[in-house]
Structure 1
Amino acid sequence: MTPQPPQSPQPSRTPRPDPETGAAVKAADRAHVFHSWSAQELIDPLPVAGAGGAYFWDYEGNRYLDFTSGLVFTNIGYQHPRVVAAIQEQAARLTTFAPAFAVAARSEAARLIAERTPGDLDKIFFTNGGAEAVENATRMARLHTGRPKVLSAYRSYHGGTSTAINLTGDPRRWPSDNGSAGVVHFWAPFLYRSPFYAGTEEEERDRALQHLADTIAFEGPGTIAAIVLETVPGTAGIMTPPPGYLAGVRELCDLHGIVLILDEVMAGFGRTGKWFAAEHFDVVPDLLTFAKGVNSGYVPLGGVAISAEIAATFARRPYPGGLTYSGHPLACAAAVATIEVMADEKVVENADRLGTDVLGPGLAALAARHPSVGEVRGMGAFWALELVRDRETREPLVPYNATGEAAAPMAAFGAAAKKHGLWPFINMNRTHVVPPCNLTDEEAAEGLAALDAALTVADEHTV
C-alpha cells in the first residue's frame, strides 16, 4: 500500500460561533447576490465562516466534511498554506498583467501543465474557467476543420456559456437551446441505464460505437468539426466508459478527420487517480479542456491544451479569440503551487489509493447494506451512488430532473447527511462522493459513516 502523503494543516477546532455576523452576511446575500441555476426566492444559502483542508464551517459553529470539494475543484482541500503563500507572493510581485506579454507565472504554469498532458498537447491557451475552455476548444476545432457541427453526449455538462450550454446534454440546456448552435447529441455508454439494451460492458461499448458511427454517417462526416466528450462524465453521473470505447471514438475521429475534444474540467488534475483521466484509457485527444483542480479553484483559471497539428493551424493565421484575464498571474501562480504540492505530497497517488483501498470498498459495503443504493461506480476520488426506489426495476429514487415535492426523498437524504456533519453532492437521484484528493483515511471513514446514516433515510423510500 502506498504510504499516506503529508497532509496540509487541519483546523483543530472551528471558530467560536458568531451568529450576528452570520445573519449580516446572509442578509446582504439575500438583498444583493443573484445565484446561479436558482429561483432566487426559493433558495437558502448557508453563510460560511471559514474552511480548512476537507472541512468548512458556518457562523453557528457547525463543521462539515465537504464531500463536494466545492464544485469538485478543491482537489487539495481548502486553504493549503503553500498555495495561499504563492498567491500572496505573486500579488506582492506582479498582481496582474495583460495576456500579450510573457509573464513568469504564466509561462511556468503552462510548462507544468504541458509536462503532464498526454501526447503532444504542449501548447496551453488559458481561460478563466471550464466553460470558456470548451467555447474556445470548439472554436479552434471549427476553424481548424472548416466544418460547422459538433457532436456531444446527452449525459454531459460542458458549461453555461453560449456554445458550452448547447453542447451540454443535461436539462440545464433546455431553457437556452434554440437549436441553432450546430450541436448534435448522441448516446454515450452507460450500462446501468443502457439505451442500447446491452447486458455486458462489451455489448454496451460496441453498440454505443455503432450508434456514434451511424450518427456521424447520417449527419455527414464532412460537416462535423469535433466530438466533445467528458473523459469520465462528472455532474451527469460519473459513468466510467467501458474499456475500448474512447479508443473507438478516437478511431472514428481519425477516419473522418474529426477533432476529438476531451473535457477534463472535472476529471483532470488527480481526480481519477491520474493527472488526467485520458491516461486510464491510453487515448490522446486533439484538444483537452481543464479548469477546477488545476489550482484547486483558489483563483479562477481554465484552459485548452492543444495538439501540435491544431497549434500549427494558427502559426501564421491569427486565432480569433482571447480574454482580458487569460493567464492571470495570480491564477497561474496558484496553479504552479498547486501542481508542485500535488507532486511533492503525492496527491494523485493518494487519490488512486483512496479509490482502490478506501472509497471503492467502503461504498460497496454501504451498497450491500442499503436497498436504496442501486449502483456504485467511479475511480480515484470520483464516485457516484445511484439511489433507487427498487433495485430490481432500477426505478430512480426521484424522477429525472425532479423538483419540489417529487424531489423530497433526495432532500431528506441530504438533510440527514448534513445532520451527521457531511456536506453531500446531490444531483437528481444520485449522490456523488467527490472529496479532496488528499483526503485521509480517517476523514474517509468519517464521511462513510455519515453516508451510512443518511442512507437509512433514503431506504425509507424504497419499495
Structure 2
Amino acid sequence: MNSAALTADAQRAYDLDREHVFHSWSAQGSLDPMVVTKAEGSYLWDGAGNRLLDFTSQLVYTNLGHQHPRIVAAIQEQAATLATIAPGYANGTRSEAARLIASHTPGDLDRIFFTNGGADANEHAIRMARLHTGKHKVLSTYRSYHGGTQLAVNVTGDPRRWPSDNGSTGTVHFFGPFLYRSAFSATTEEEECQRALAHLEQVITLEGASTIAALILESIPGTAGIMMPPAGYLARVRELCDRHDIVLIADEVMAGFGRAGRWFAIEHGDVVPDLLTFAKGVNSGYVPLGGVAISERIYRTFAARAYPGGLTYSGHPLACAAAVATIETMEDEGIVEQADVLGRDVLGPALRDLAARHPWIGEVRGTGAFWAIELVRDQETREPLAPYGGSSPEMAAIIAGCTRRGLIPFANFNRIHVVPPLTITAEEAKEGLAILDQALAEAHGA
C-alpha cells in the first residue's frame, strides 16, 4: 500500500497501532489513540472524518501549521536532489540552514551543531559546558522540561524525571520565579524576582561555584506552565553566571522560532546566553531536527580540541531543507510579528475575558502564541483543579467537551495551554476560544 492509502485507512492504522506500536509516556494497556487521516493548516481530521482545530500545534512545534506547501515542496525537492549524506561532509542545504539560524540568534551565537531533536540538543549543550569549564554540576529549575533522554530528563524539573532520577547525574534543582505559586511568599513581581535571585545565589554558594558547569533554563518555561520571567530576572541570572564562571544555556526548544512573539524568547529579557538549544519550530517539526547555537567563547574551546560527540543524522538534508523553507517563509510573511500581534490583540484579551467569567480560572499568562490558563477549584485558596503530576475528573470533562465540539486542547496537570500554529487566523483563534469557553461552562455546571 502507498502512503496515501495507509494514512486513509483509519481502522487498519488503529488495529496495527494497538498490536505493534509502543507509545511514549503512557501505560500501554489503557491507550485509545486518535487516528489522524488528514491535516491542513490549523486543522486535522480524525478517523471518523471529524475536523478538529489544533490548539496544540501537536507538541507545540507545527508553528507554520500542517502541510505548509513551501515546506512540503522543499522536502520533496531535496529528496530528489540529495536525500541523505553523513554529517562529516559539507552540503549546501545544511550550510544554508545554519546560516539562516545564526542570522536570528542573539549576539555571537553563530556556530550551529545539529541534533535530531531538543533532548539531545540539551544533552550536547551540557556536554560542551562541562568540557569547556572542567566542572560537572548543572543547575536547572523545578517546573521545567528539557527532554526524555537520561541526562535531559534528570535536568527536567517535573514528575517525568522521578522514575529515572537516582541522584547520580550531577543535576541540582532550584526554584525559578512564579509569583502565582511563589516559593518565596512574594506578593509582587519585583519581590518575586529579587527573592528568586537571592535563592539562586544561595544555591550557587552552598553547592560551590567551583563545581557548577552550567545553568540551563527555558527562557519561558513551556509544558511546566508558561511562566513569564519577571523584568530583570534573566539579566541578573546572566550576571550571576558571569561572576561564577558558569555557562548559561537557554533552552529555546519550545519557545523559539516565533512562538513567544520573538525569534527567540530570551529576547524578551535582552540577554545573550553562552549556548542556545532549539528544535520543534525550526522547521515546524516536518522532519526531526534540533541543535545548539554556540558562542564564540565556547567554540574556541573546540577549535583545536576535538568535540567528543556526534549523531548519524546530524544536519540531515531533508530536515535542513524543511528548516530553510520554514525560516524563509517566516521572514517573507512576517510570521514572528504576526504571532506577537496574535497574542496582544486576540489571544491575550480573549483569555483575560474568559478569566473574568469563569470561576475555575485562577490566572492567565503568556505572550505571542504561547499561553497558559491556570485552573483552580477556588480562586482564593488557589487549590489546583488537578494535582501536581496528575489529572482529575474536572480536567477530563473540559478536555472531552473541547474535543466533542471540534477542538484539540493542550492539557497538562491543572492547566490548559493555548498554543496554536503561528499562522492561525484571528477567526480560527476565536472559534477555538469559543469552544473552550463552552467546555469550561459545561464542565463547571456538571
| TM-score over 0.5 for the pair | yes
The AA in structure 2 aligned to 1:179 is G
Distance, in Å, in 2 between the alignment partners of 1:400 and 1:166 is: 18
Contact 2:7 2:13 in 1 (8 A): no
Mapping for residues 229-240 of structure 1, pairs under 5 Å: 229-240=217-228
Distance, in Å, in 2 between the alignment partners of 1:408 and 1:167 is: 31
Distance, in Å, in 2 between the alignment partners of 1:213 and 1:269 is: 31
Q: CA deviation at 1:21?
A: 2.5
Distance, in Å, in 2 between the alignment partners of 1:64 and 1:315 is: 50
The AA in structure 1 aligned to 2:337 is E
Q: CA deviation at 1:354?
A: 0.4
Distance, in Å, in 1 between the alignment partners of 2:295 and 2:156 is: 24
Secondary structure of 2:376 counterpart:
strand
Q: CA deviation at 1:58?
A: 1.1
Q: 1:26 aligns with which of 2, 5, 14?
A: 14
Counterpart residue number, 1:340: 328
1:374 aligns with 2:362: yes
1:62 aligns with 2:50: yes
Counterpart residue number, 1:459: 444
Q: 1:84 aligns with which of 53, 72, 77?
A: 72
Seen in structure 2, the aligned counterparts of structure 1 residues 128 and 248 have a Cα distance that, compared at 3 Å, is same
Secondary structure of 1:395 counterpart:
coil
Q: 1:410 aligns with which of 395, 406, 419?
A: 395
The AA in structure 2 aligned to 1:219 is E
1:384 aligns with 2:372: yes
Q: 2:203 aligns with which of 194, 215, 224?
A: 215
Contact 1:205 1:242 in 2 (8 A): yes
Query: Runs of 4 or more off by more than 2 Å in structure 1?
Result: 18-21, 457-461
Seen in structure 2, the aligned counterparts of structure 1 residues 222 and 20 have a Cα distance that, compared at 3 Å, is closer
Please report the TM-score for the alignment, with normalisation by the length of structure 2: 0.98
For residues 293-323 of structure 1, give each alpha carbon's deviation from its aligned partner in whole angstroms, at most 9, with x where no partner exists.
0000000000000000000000000000000
Q: 2:435 aligns with which of 443, 450, 457?
A: 450
The AA in structure 1 aligned to 2:387 is P
Q: CA deviation at 1:20?
A: 9.2
Distance, in Å, in 2 between the alignment partners of 1:368 and 1:90 is: 50
Q: 1:352 aligns with which of 316, 326, 340?
A: 340
Please report the TM-score for the alignment, with normalisation by the length of structure 1: 0.94
Distance, in Å, in 2 between the alignment partners of 1:286 and 1:342 is: 25
Counterpart residue number, 2:237: 249
For residues 40-65 of structure 1, give each alpha carbon's deviation from its aligned partner in whole angstroms, at most 9, with x where no partner exists.
01111001001000000012111110
Secondary structure of 2:11 counterpart:
helix
Distance, in Å, in 1 between the alignment partners of 2:92 and 2:445 is: 57
Secondary structure of 2:9 counterpart:
helix
For residues 2-32 of structure 1, give each alpha carbon's deviation from its aligned partner in whole angstroms, at most 9, with x where no partner exists.
xxxxxxxxxxxxxxxx999211110000000
Q: CA deviation at 1:199?
A: 0.2
The AA in structure 1 aligned to 2:377 is R
Secondary structure of 1:233 counterpart:
coil
Unaligned runs of 5+ in 1: 1-17
Contact 1:19 1:59 in 2 (8 A): no
Contact 2:42 2:424 in 1 (8 A): yes
Q: Which moved more, 1:157-166 or 1:20-29?
A: 20-29
Secondary structure of 2:417 counterpart:
strand
Q: Which moved more, 1:19-28 or 1:314-323?
A: 19-28
Contact 1:19 1:60 in 2 (8 A): no
Secondary structure of 1:197 counterpart:
coil
Distance, in Å, in 2 between the alignment partners of 1:350 and 1:439 is: 9
Distance, in Å, in 2 between the alignment partners of 1:399 and 1:83 is: 40
- What count of residue pairs does the alignment treat as equivalent? 441
Counterpart residue number, 2:213: 225
Secondary structure of 2:53 counterpart:
strand
1:290 aligns with 2:278: yes
Distance, in Å, in 1 between the alignment partners of 2:150 and 2:418 is: 29
Distance, in Å, in 1 between the alignment partners of 2:386 and 2:154 is: 25
Counterpart residue number, 1:436: 421
Secondary structure of 1:390 counterpart:
coil
Distance, in Å, in 2 between the alignment partners of 1:355 and 1:133 is: 28
Seen in structure 2, the aligned counterparts of structure 1 residues 458 and 201 have a Cα distance that, compared at 3 Å, is farther
Counterpart residue number, 2:288: 300
The AA in structure 2 aligned to 1:437 is L
Counterpart residue number, 1:8: none
Distance, in Å, in 1 between the alignment partners of 2:291 and 2:142 is: 23
Contact 1:114 1:121 in 2 (8 A): yes
Q: CA deviation at 1:352?
A: 0.1
Q: 1:424 aligns with which of 394, 403, 409?
A: 409
Q: CA deviation at 1:374?
A: 0.5
Distance, in Å, in 2 between the alignment partners of 1:285 and 1:21 is: 47
For residues 184-232 of structure 1, give each alpha carbon's deviation from its aligned partner in whole angstroms, at most 9, with x where no partner exists.
0000000000000000000000000000000000000000000000000
Q: 1:178 aligns with which of 159, 166, 176?
A: 166
Distance, in Å, in 1 between the alignment partners of 2:388 and 2:146 is: 19
Contact 2:8 2:37 in 1 (8 A): no
The AA in structure 2 aligned to 1:33 is V
Q: 1:37 aligns with which of 13, 25, 32?
A: 25
Distance, in Å, in 2 between the alignment partners of 1:161 and 1:357 is: 38
Counterpart residue number, 1:164: 152
RMSD of equivalent CA atoms: 1.1
Contact 1:233 1:239 in 2 (8 A): yes
Q: CA deviation at 1:457?
A: 3.2
Distance, in Å, in 1 between the alignment partners of 2:210 and 2:249 is: 17
Counterpart residue number, 2:3: none
